[in-house]
Structures are given as structure tokens and as C-alpha cells.
Amino acid sequence: MSSSFSTPSGACALPDPNAATRDGEAGDAGEAPLPAALVSVRPTRLGGPARGDEEWVAEEVPIALEYNGLSHAVMLATPLDLEDFALGFSLSENLIGSPADLLDVEVQTRPQGVALQLRVTARCELMLKERRRTLAGRTGCGLCGTDSLDQVFRPPSRPLAPLAVDREQLIPVLSRAMRELSEAQPLQQRSGGIHAAAWCSPAGEVLMVREDVGRHNALDKLVGALARAQVDTAQGFAAVTSRASFEMVQKAAGAGISLLAAVSAPTHLAIRTAQACGLTLAGFVREGRATLYS
């Protein structure tokens, strides 16, 4: 895959040891830089002593996904890990059947935002033309672009293998994962406005993290990163810093992830979907406790 990345003046450069390559690296001369993931502002604080210090806030940028020149979706997202996002979104939305169907990704900065030019196989292009739609995504949207009820429920392409963790060990494992996840979010630590999704070992060790203003985007980025790294998703689980919605469960199950741990509550549709897929769903994972819903 080809890409063009650079860090603009004033951007918050945050290292991530989990990623081999990240959006924000130097691009070719003359190319427009990507927007920063965080932006410095000087707000006026009301109440308490007057302060004039700067504050970091999360950037939210329209990200257009164009497949073989066909405009497909516009999502609002953090302009970081965009190749992971392109692959993860394509897999999660069933736009491609495997990572091999995505032949190339080119990141283009435009005055209005960022365009991801995705080149896919002829088979996938034909499928996209048959269900072509243009949509405007928003932060945290669930079923953006779904135009019929038949498209809502997509069972995983293969049965989910249960994670080998004893019930007695589940609380220590999940607690470790959430603790390490909170320590592995540099954007969240600076801005306080970012979600994250983590890939964890069966022991709860956080191995990979992706951040975004949107919880669905963070999970898509994680799914893409796992696919690019050819990680066996039967050998771990995912932890997210959000509620567990239907879409989050479906994205996890579609990626072959058999356990999803969320810091907040699930929805009833998420629970029913997890039960139907054979996915273990844990909610309210915090402070040494968790609630199992499936």
C-alpha cells in the first residue's frame, strides 16, 4: 500500500510503540500535510482562578473513502492510522472479503478534509457498484449507509473459537486489560476526548491500541491493524473504552474476536447479537468487576 504522511507545524507528535508505521510520518516534498490529531487552544475558563494556559483538544476531520474512484462514505474521524482505518472499515462493512482484496491505499489531503483512495479488486468493485451509496458519517454513528434491513445483521463468516480463559481468572484478566489500556492512550491523556480499542493477550496484556474520537472508528482501526499484522484473532480479545453497541459487537465478531470487554453498558441488541454469534460480551469492566451478558 502506498501513502503520504507528514506532521504539520504545531501537531502533537505522540509515539506509539505498538505501531510499525503511523500516519504522521514525513511524506514526499510538496505534498499537503495531514491535519494534526490534537490541536492546541487557549480557552477561557469560568470559575476558579483565571488561567491562560493552553489545552489540547481532539481534531475531528471528514474522512472520505473512495473505492476505485467511487465515493462511498464520509466519516468524521481522528486523522491518524488511516491505512488501518481504510482496511478495518472495509472489512467491518463487508466491502471486501479479505485484506488481499484491498490492493492499495493513497491518502490525499484536501481543503475540506482527507480522502482515502482505495483500490480494490474487480470483484469487489462490482459488488460496490451494485450497492453503491453515498453517506455522511458522524462521530459514533451505528448503521451509517445501511439502506435495507437485510443489510443490518451480518453473521460472522466463520464460527468464533472461545477464548481459553477460566471464569475464575476473567476478572483479573479484564482488569489488567482496562488498566493497561488507560495507560496506553496518549491522545486521551492529553485531550480527554478520545476513545480507544485495544487488542489483548489471553492474560490481559495490552498488545496494540488504536485511538479515535469515534468508538466505531477506533475499533475499525484496530481491526485493520490486526489484519495488516496477520494476527490470529482467536488468540486474544478486544477491550474498548465505550459502551458496547450492536455495531461494536458485530465488528468484533466479524473480525473473529470472541470476547469483547467494554468499560460501559451494552445495548439489548448488542447482547442478542453476541449470543447469536457466540461472542462473550462483558460490560461495566472497571475497578475489579465486570458483568457478563453472553
286 is in an annotated binding site: yes
pLDDT for res 153: 66
Instruction: Give CA–CA dist 19/22, Å, rounded.
Output: 6
Q: Which of 10, 21, 8, 4 is nearest to 229 (CA)?
A: 21
Catalytic residue among 141, 144, 200, 277: 141
Tens of pLDDT along the chain (294 residues)? Answer: 433 322 232 333 333 333 333 443 434 434 678 899 999 998 888 887 767 688 999 999 999 999 999 998 999 999 999 999 999 999 999 999 999 999 999 999 998 999 999 999 999 999 888 876 444 444 444 445 555 455 556 667 677 888 878 888 999 999 999 999 999 999 999 999 999 999 999 999 999 999 999 999 999 999 999 999 999 999 999 999 999 999 999 999 999 999 999 999 999 999 999 999 999 999 999 989 999 999
Return the bridge partners of 197, or none: 210, 240
Say whether 85 counts as a known binding-site residue: no
Q: What is the pLDDT of residue 132?
A: 66
Distance of CA 280 to CAs 82, 171, 182, Å? 29, 13, 22
Question: For residues 249 and 268, what is the distance between their CA atoms, to the nearest angstrom?
Answer: 11
CA distances from 261 to 141, 173, 218, 272 (A): 20, 11, 14, 16
Burial of 30 (0-12, 13-18, 19+ CB in 10 A): exposed
Residue 83, marked binder: no
Residue 214 marked as a ligand binder: no
Residue 9 confidence (pLDDT) = 29
Is residue 141 flagged as an active site residue? Answer: yes
Tell me if the pTM is above 0.75.
yes
Whether the CB-CB separation of 129 and 136 falls below 8 Å is answered with: no
List CB contacts of 47: < 8 A, sequence separation 6 or more.
Answer: none
Return the closest-CA partner of residue 244 out of 210, 223, 268, 214: 268
51 annotated ligand-binding residue: no
What pLDDT sits at residue 88? 98
Q: E-strand spans in 59-112?
A: 61-67, 70-77, 102-110
pLDDT of residue 101: 97
Q: In order of start, what are the domains of the chain with their CATH numbers?
A: 38-151 (3.10.20.10), 167-292 (3.40.140.10)
Q: Does 25 carry a binding-site annotation?
A: no
Gap between the terminal Cα atoms of the chain: 38
| Residue 152 pLDDT | 59
